[in-house]
Amino acid sequence: MYRDAHVGETAVGGAALALPASCAACPVRDSAICCVLDRSGLAALSRFGRRITLPAGQTLLWEGEEAITVGNLLSGMLKLSTLTGDGREQIVGIVHPSDFIGRPFGRNSPHSVTALTDATLCVFGRTAFDRFAQEHAAIGQALLERTLIELDRARHWMLLLGRKSACERVASLIVEIADRADGGPTIDLPLSRQQMGDILGLTIETVSRSLTRLKRAGVIALPSLRRIAIRKPDELRAIAEG
């Protein structure tokens, strides 16, 4: 939904608008928050959107600073992080394609948003998007639903961190990344062992031991540091569920 030409002809005499070309080519068109809009709404939204690329390691939003941008992740992965009192980074979430980032109807970002991999996003100025959402009830409803999903996800991770063993936590993270990637039995990890530990409340040594344990059990294979091949998906899910 970034600035682009429209596919076909524009509406004349009440005829339906053609889908904006940028939206037609969007890889997350059917799952991003804007999928609730009709073609007229998409055309209006696309007028103030733009596509950007974010190299791995680059930060889009900084914790505590004004969140002037919101948008959809089209490809790649981002991390949400905050700084602890002693200055250490704590990863509090992972953003996958079709997820929405930013803080609509708010001023400052509660966390930093940084690219874990090279990423592309469709972004909008927050003020313009807030105004658009107020004028299009479907977007407001979609924002509410996404917020509730994120709340459920946060509660799930609270349970994971509070009650599950180290191996169960690692298995849960692998399952979540695999489910969101939807790319087959082999996944590319966007996280280092240290980052996995940060998310799961484990040391890097414990993460490595848990992965080795899963490998020795034949549940996964580790072709490289950043690749995991899931050999026994049902068993991995059983471990994750505790």
Tens of pLDDT, residue by residue over 197-230, are 888 889 999 999 999 999 999 999 999 888 999 9
Kindly report the backbone phi and psi dihedral angles of residue 20, in degrees, each rounded to the nearest multiple of 5, phi listed first: -55, 140
Q: Is 22 helix (H, G, I), strand (E, B) or coil?
A: helix
Angle at 98 between CA 48 and CA 96, to 5 degrees: 125
pLDDT value of residue 200 = 87
**CATH number attached to the domain at 21-158:** 2.60.120.10
Domain boundaries, the chain: 21-158, 165-240
This prediction has a pTM of: 0.80
Q: Which CATH class is domain 165-240?
A: mainly alpha
Q: Give dist(CA 174, CA 28) in Å, integer.
A: 22
CB-CB contact of 207 with 200 (8 Å): yes
Whether residue 2 has pLDDT greater than 60: no
Q: Give dist(CA 239, CA 164) in Å, integer.
A: 10
